[in-house]
Structure 1
Amino acid sequence: MRMVPMAEADLDAVLAVQAACYPPAMQEAADVVRARLRASPDTVLVARDADGICAYLFAYPSRLGKVTPLGSRFTLPDRPDTLYLHDLAVAPRSAGQGVARRLTDAILARAGGLRHSALVSVQDSRRFWESLGYAAAAGDGVALATYPAGALYMARRLSA
């Protein structure tokens, strides 16, 4: 399995993984996904196995405490201090193979001196994120409310 930067040609495969992992209310439109890739291409990765794309991770430089509302485009700040992991999804065929951890490790290696990483935990993923050093943190409650019940803003300090 290889972790590589996403290309626009991968969009259909990424949307198929998204559809396999999220209920319709959490699926984000193709134009928004494309805009996110264009906004921060160095922090969008896909995992490829023998059958093609089996996972993806969208991240971007942000500020600690800022939450990207579900379905919104990335807004890049002038002075980022945080690598925000907006969306990580693994196709069911690759579940349990460590793909999520490998993608996260690969993207954090691209943090470029940022002091923090943050995300919104959904679909009972809190334990997974805690195993990677994330903990519940204060975040934009208005933006967090765009996610399903139980969503939790989490952050961790990175070594700069």
Structure 2
Amino acid sequence: MTSRKIRLMHSDDFTAILTLQADCYPQAFIETAKTLQQKQQLSPYSSWVITLNEQVSGYLFCHPWLGDKPPALNTQLSHLPEMADRFYIHDLAISPNARGNKLAEQLIQHAIEWAISANFSQVMLVAVLGADRFWQKHHFQPLSTRLPAAYGEDAVCMLRQLQAPL
């Protein structure tokens, strides 16, 4: 039987996270360990890993954000906005060896539930490398936001409205 668990990310996960990032993205999209660690430290309760049989098999970096302009890729943030108006999904990666196990869907659902409980009314992200079709299946809609060139020519800023639990 396969065991899986979503838990908060911690510092000793970063070796696995950097390996996953390298396995999932071309070099132009690789962020430094320092950049990713800073994002996790700025919002320690909204970045998770998912394990499959006790191995880190995916990660999701998220944080509060303000406005339609997403943070630049591979840029360290000195702070998060005090008056955030949305929850921002910065990066999602699943090990190629673990794909097909619905790990991405579980991480996304976990993040959405967390965002609702934290009283966010919307979630934003930048879909890269043609991932906008994947995110549309999760109720994200394209925005007309102009994106920095570092995100790639086919990058799409996307937004999902959230509903509070009944």
Given the two structures, how large is their TM-score scaled by the length of structure 1? 0.94
Letter in 2 for 1:96: G
Which residue does the alignment assign to 1:25?
28
Task: Name the SS of the counterpart of 2:41 in structure 1.
Answer: helix
* RMSD across aligned positions (CA): 1.2
Whole-angstrom CA distance in 2 between matches of 1:137 and 1:22: 23
Larger mean CA deviation between 112-121 and 60-69 belongs to 60-69
Q: Please state if 1:97 is matched with 2:101.
A: yes
Q: Give how far 1:44 is off.
A: 0.4
**CA offsets 1:59-85 (integer angstroms, 9 cap, x no match):** 000124021111012441111111100
Q: Please state if 1:127 is matched with 2:130.
A: no
Given the two structures, how large is their TM-score scaled by the length of structure 2? 0.91
Structure 1, unaligned stretches of length 5 or more? none
After the TM superposition, list the runs of 4 or more consecutive aligned residues in structure 1 that deviate by more than 6 angstroms: none
Whole-angstrom CA distance in 1 between matches of 2:33 and 2:155: 23
Which residue does the alignment assign to 1:87?
91
Letter in 2 for 1:19: A
User: How many equivalent residue pairs?
Assistant: 158
Task: Name the SS of the counterpart of 2:59 in structure 1.
Answer: strand
Whole-angstrom CA distance in 2 between matches of 1:94 and 1:149: 28
Whole-angstrom CA distance in 2 between matches of 1:42 and 1:144: 27
Which residue does the alignment assign to 1:107?
111
Whole-angstrom CA distance in 2 between matches of 1:52 and 1:12: 12
Q: Please state if 1:54 is matched with 2:28.
A: no
Contact 1:120 1:154 in 2 (8 A): yes
Task: Name the SS of the counterpart of 2:45 in structure 1.
Answer: helix
Which residue does the alignment assign to 2:72?
69
Which residue does the alignment assign to 1:149?
153
